[in-house]
């Protein structure tokens, strides 16, 4: 039998390169009886599948984690770790929980079939194995798996594209009551960088302030009410979190997409200066006017007297062609919105 090497004979990165995922589905067959493996392997191989094999529960778990097959054909009764335990562990691991499992069993009693389904199986076939029957059952479940992979791929591409525009994103898993473990299960590269810079944390840990914000506002979010944004400031920079949408919902919990955007006072002030041909100090004064600060507050922020701020502001009025503080703020705000749509005064 020309089969894929048993687990332990090829490192994970080598396995990933050898699997032709673009043109065939990857099937992991788990059975401790070589004859059973041979019959299924040859039939599936001839039908165009990429076939992996494992002859024990431990080897099956390792191979599944390495190769992430599209479907698993799992013998229920094996020495040592049986198929039921293998299925439970595969379903408990986020990396492999999505993989459909078809049990192969010679046990036809109802309690055994129920046990197979309770362990995480989506279907079962009885021994002696009939390859055509197995492939017919596989076809049904692979269609759903292909759709899920395509949706995940498209979602991942869309989220990664956000990084190019300065929008980072993470997906956080929460329980329906908002009291789940709150782990990050997905993040873009920019999100990883921002969370480390602002909170000093890395996935799967969600920063505690972000987790508290989610817990407070998930009840409203589940009712399609957009919650207030969370903002953290770090010097002239600020990081804003927006709860975007629920990406997955189930009885056990849900996954929530959070979009982050970093803005900088310095960047906005520079944009104001370039737009209206202001000096750096004039642009800073106008920026704080847009933020609603009075001359006394602006003076304290910039280390200047209110009289000096007033003189800067008079020059700003002249350059913008306006006569009032409100008109100056309005013109500046309009321009800022064009250059920094995410800006919040």
The 10s digit of each residue's pLDDT in 300-331 is: 888 889 999 999 999 999 999 999 999 999 99
pLDDT in tens, 70-91: 999 999 889 989 999 999 999 8
- Over range 143-152, report the average pLDDT: 68
**Alpha carbons 247 and 219: distance in angstroms, whole number:** 16
> 116-130, 174-188, 306-320: lowest mean pLDDT where?
174-188
The pLDDT of residue 9: 36
The pLDDT of residue 2: 40
With respect to CATH, is domain 277-339 assigned 1.10.10.10?
Answer: yes
DSSP 82-113: -HHHHHHHHHHSTTTTTS-EEEEES--SHHHH
- Over range 143-160, report the average pLDDT: 64
Contacts of 201 (CB under 8 A, 6+ apart): 195, 207
**Better-predicted residue by pLDDT, 159 or 36:** 36
User: Confidence class of residue 149 from pLDDT cuts 50, 70 and 90?
Assistant: low
Measured at the CA of 241, the angle between CA 236 and CA 244, to 5 degrees, comes to 150
12-154 shares its CATH topology with 277-339:
no
Q: Estimate to the nearest angstrom the gap between the alpha carbon of 223 and the chain centroid.
A: 22
> 147-156, 221-230, 326-335: lowest mean pLDDT where?
147-156
CATH code of the domain made up of 12-154: 3.40.50.2300
Where are the domains positioned within the chain?
12-154, 165-264, 277-339
Topology (CATH level 3) of domain 165-264: Beta-Lactamase (3.30.450)
**Alpha carbons 93 and 247: distance in angstroms, whole number:** 19
Contacts of 125 (CB under 8 A, 6+ apart): 102, 103, 104, 105, 133, 134, 137
> 1-5, 74-78, 266-270: lowest mean pLDDT where?
1-5
SS3 for 278? coil
Strand 71-75 relative to strand 101-105, pairing? parallel
Cα torsion 300, 304, 307, 308: sign: negative
| In the chain, beta strands by DSSP E | 26-30, 50-54, 71-75, 101-105, 123-126, 167-174, 183-187, 230-234, 237-249, 254-264
**Alpha carbons 17 and 203: distance in angstroms, whole number:** 26
pTM confidence score: 0.43
The pLDDT of residue 10: 36
234 φ, ψ to 5°? -140, 95
Would you say residue 1 has pLDDT above 90? no
- Over range 96-110, report the average pLDDT: 83
> 49-58, 133-142, 229-238: lowest mean pLDDT where?
229-238
Cis before 204 (ω within 30):
yes
- Over range 19-30, report the average pLDDT: 73
How far is residue 219 from each of residues 174, 209, 215, measured CA to CA in Å? 12, 17, 8
């Amino acid at each position: 039998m020309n089969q894929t090497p048993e687990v332990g004979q090829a490192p994970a990165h080598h396995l990933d390169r050898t699997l032709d995922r673009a043109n065939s589905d990857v099937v992991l067959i788990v059975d401790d009886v070589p004859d059973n493996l041979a019959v299924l392997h040859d039939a599936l191989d001839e039908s165009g599948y990429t076939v992996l094999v494992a002859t024990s529960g431990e080897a099956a778990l390792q191979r599944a984690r390495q190769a992430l097959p599209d479907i698993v054909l799992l013998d229920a009764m094996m020495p040592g770790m049986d198929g039921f335990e293998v299925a439970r562990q595969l379903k408990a691991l986020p990396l492999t929980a999505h993989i459909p499992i078809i049990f192969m069993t010679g046990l036809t009693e109802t309690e055994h079939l129920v046990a197979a389904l309770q362990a995480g199986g989506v279907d079962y076939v009885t021994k002696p194995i009939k390859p055509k029957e197995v492939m017919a059952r596989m076809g049904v479940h692979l269609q759903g798996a292909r759709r899920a992979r395509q949706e995940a791929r498209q979602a991942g591409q869309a989220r990664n594209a956000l990084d190019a525009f300065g929008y980072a994103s993470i997906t956080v898993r929460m329980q329906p009551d908002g009291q789940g473990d709150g782990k990050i299960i997905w993040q873009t590269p920019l999100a990883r960088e921002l969370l480390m810079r602002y909170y000093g944390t890395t996935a799967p840990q969600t920063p505690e302030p972000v987790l508290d914000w989610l817990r407070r506002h998930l009840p409203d979010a589940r009712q399609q009410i957009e919650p207030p944004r969370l903002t953290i400031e770090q010097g002239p920079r600020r990081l804003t979190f927006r709860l975007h949408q629920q990406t997955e919902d189930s009885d056990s919990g849900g996954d929530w997409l959070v979009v982050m955007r970093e803005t900088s006072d310095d960047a906005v002030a520079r944009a104001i200066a370039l737009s209206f041909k202001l000096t750096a100090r004039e642009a800073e004064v106008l920026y704080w006017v847009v933020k609603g600060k009075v001359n006394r507050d602006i003076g304290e922020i910039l280390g200047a007297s209110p009289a000096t701020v007033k003189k800067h502001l008079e020059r700003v009025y002249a350059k913008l062609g306006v006569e009032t503080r409100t008109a100056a703020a309005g013109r500046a705000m309009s321009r800022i919105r064009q250059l920094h749509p995410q800006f919040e005064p």
